[in-house]
Amino acid sequence: MEYPTDFLRMMAEELDIAKQQNEPLNSHHEAFAVIMEELDEYWDQVRLKPSRRNPEQMRDKLVQCATMCWRAALDLKLTTH
Beta-carbon contacts of 58 under 8 Å, excluding residues fewer than 6 positions away, are 42, 45, 46
Averaged confidence pLDDT in the chain: 95
Structure confidence at residue 3 as a pLDDT band (50, 70, 90): confident
Question: What is residue 2's DSSP assignment?
Answer: -
Beta-carbon contacts of 24 under 8 Å, excluding residues fewer than 6 positions away, are 75
- CA–CA distance, 35 with 40 (Å, rounded to integer): 9
pTM, entire model = 0.90
In this structure, is residue 81 part of a structural domain? no
In this structure, is residue 64 part of a structural domain? yes
pLDDT(4) > 90 = no
What is residue 80's predicted lDDT score, i.e. its pLDDT? 78
In this structure, is residue 80 part of a structural domain? no
In this structure, is residue 43 part of a structural domain? yes
What is residue 11's predicted lDDT score, i.e. its pLDDT? 97
Q: Report which of 27, 29, 5, 12 is spatially closest to residue 66, judged by C-alpha positions.
A: 12
Counting the structural domains of the chain, the total is 1
| Domain of 58, in residue numbers | 5-19+26-75
